[in-house]
Amino acid sequence: MSNQEKPTRVAIYVRVSTEEQAEQGYSIDAQLDTLRKHCLYSEKVIFHEYVDRGISGKSMEKRLELQQMLKDAEKNSFDEVLVWKLNRLARNTIDLLQMVEVLEKHNVAFSSFSEKFDTSTPMGKFTLQMMASVGEFERNTIVENVKMGLKQRARTGKHNGKVPLGYRAVKDANNVSNHHESNVEIIEAEAAIVTKIFERFAAGRGFKSIANELNHEGYVTKPGGAFSISGVKEILDNPFYAGKVRYCRFENWSDKRRKGRNPKPDIFEGLHPAIISEELWNKVRYLRNMKSVVALKRFDGEFLLTWLIRCPQCGGPMVANRIQNRQKDGSKITRLYYSCSNFRNKGSKVCSANSIRKQEAEQYVIERIKEVLALPQMLRGIVKNINERKTKRIKPLQQELDHLLSKITELEGKKQKYFDLYEADGLAREMFSKRLDDINGELDRLHVKKSELAFELKDDNSQPVSYEVVRSLLDKFDKLLESSSFDQRKTLMHLVIKQITVRDTRTIDQIQMNFDVNTVQHFLAADPSATHAGGSFAVHMKRGIQGQSISVVI
């Protein structure tokens, strides 16, 4: 390399999930060591090492180091991203190609140590796509094989995963071929709770009534919490209590969650003992099917602030509530409120209604925004408080990060001492392995926390906020509320307002709002006139909110 040529700046990215840490060649240290030597041999300069420890590659959500790397790529901080293997960057083809496209957009090359290709050529791109597709195919094949194994277990009457309330899993000491196999036993005290739920529902009691009674009687769920309407339903719908095993209740849970509910899951006879009789199970099924076709109650009126207002007693969200009162002349009058969701779902043992009138709450929120806009001094005071909170918040974060870095250095030193002892035959292999596992586990935890803190400190949230930006945001929000339909107003409320706190007197205390880049994009889309380059709102946003989030409490 000539003296005039600048060395290639390389960003190393490594990742290992919790499951992969035990596999040969997948460790963080092994990946880093290989990639560092490659850069040294190729005369390339390492800009930074981005490390996601103990995190799956399925999505980007928790991969803070990856997110930071892509941000740095947009700033042209380096020339190349180097990974040990393609699947370290992404587990599916679409995500991988999208990330490579982002890198190429900013003139950043992408290379893998294990798979040789050049994405700057058509053949290199084709090779990348083929290799990513093969990797995804292998992963999907493994997933399908696991599903087949789980279905076979269910078909033979064995349970999969955790057992529900009323049961416990105990290791099968007689099964020498599989030490992980377990049997299911009944916990009599918990089984009594399950029986109460089925018998009370069969006698005509409702979900809320059953949950409320159980909570007042001092019973708790398997994790130790209060019973809820949804929790009672889950128990009543679980065939495990009738001695059966259910398989494939949800399809593609990691992607679809409850939207992937399978209307006809597979039901097999189980090997475990039943808690309720077949007759009681069938009676409850009949009642559940009858009630499921009854139309759900619908509230009159339009509720803008459902789930935004927080209960002053328990802090839970407040939901729509309608109360009918009979007048002296015999007519009925309906009053609309926001009431505590925990009270409505779990009963008076957990919380109280703490109702606040719908009209008064919504009117106060809208009028409060107008009041702040009409009083510049009040708004300047709010902005001053925002900036003071930002300044105070950064110092403890930095101190915590410094402490973590010191702890990581200390553990790395201890790790090296154990290596030296082991090589000098001063430590038994079993003891060495155990202590190394303990240190690596603690290091993974500290590195994850370090990434979170570093990401938070780098996110530009420490930058001062200007009065003009906050005023523009509130003014635009106020005008859009006036000109929008109900559905649009509700969307705006839930997009911008984080939460609304209530005093013990059942009057609104504070409105916590949050504006970010997505909020601004929503505003611009909702109001085409704001997209003009000369518009003050657009200009303020380019200067004031790009890359950061602004929280306002009024």
| Tally of CA atoms within 13 A in the half-sphere of 122 that contains its CB | 0
Cβ(198)–Cβ(276) below 8 Å: yes
- Give every strand in the sheet of 80-83, ordered side by side: 45-53, 9-16, 80-83, 109-112
Q: Answer whether 510's CB lies under 8 Å from 553's CB.
A: yes
In Å, the largest CA–CA distance within the chain is: 99
Contact predicate 108/98, CB 8 Å? no
77 is catalytic: no
Cα–chain-centroid distance for residue 238? 26
Tokens 């929280």, located at residue? 551
DSSP state of 453: H
Q: How far, in Å, CA of 146 to CA of 43, rounded?
A: 44
> Looking at the DSSP assignment, which residues form a beta bridge with residue 170?
183
Nearest in space to 195 (alpha carbons), one of 152, 151, 165? 165
Secondary structure of 8-51 as H, E, C letters: CEEEEEEEECCHHHHCCCCCHHHHHHHHHHHHHHCCCEEEEEEE
What span, in angstroms and rounded, lies between the C-alpha atoms of 266 and 155? 9
Of 479, 460, 473, 488, residue with least CA distance to 520: 473
H or E, element range at 151: helix 122-155
3-state secondary structure labels for all residues of 383-445: HHHHHHHHHHHHHHHHHHHHHHHHHHHHHHHHHHHHHHHHHCCCCCHHHHHHHHHHHHHHHHH
* Main-chain phi, psi angles of 125, to 5 degrees: -65, -40
Residue 56 and residue 408: Cα distance in Å, rounded? 22
Give the DSSP letter string of 195-256.
Answer: HHHHHHHHTT--HHHHHHHHHHTT---TTS----HHHHHHHHT-GGGGTEEEE-SBSSHHHH
Reported as half-sphere exposure (CB side, CA atoms, 13 A), residue 150 has a value of: 13
Q: Are 292 and 237 in contact (CB under 8 A)?
A: no
DSSP-derived secondary structure letter, 330:
S
Question: What is the C-alpha separation between 183 and 168, in angstroms, rounded?
Answer: 8
**How many residues does the structure list for the chain?**
554
Q: Which of 2, 17, 182, 277 is catalytic?
A: 17
Q: 458: Cβ–Cβ under 8 A, 6 or more apart, which residues?
A: 68, 71
Residue numbers annotated as active site: 17
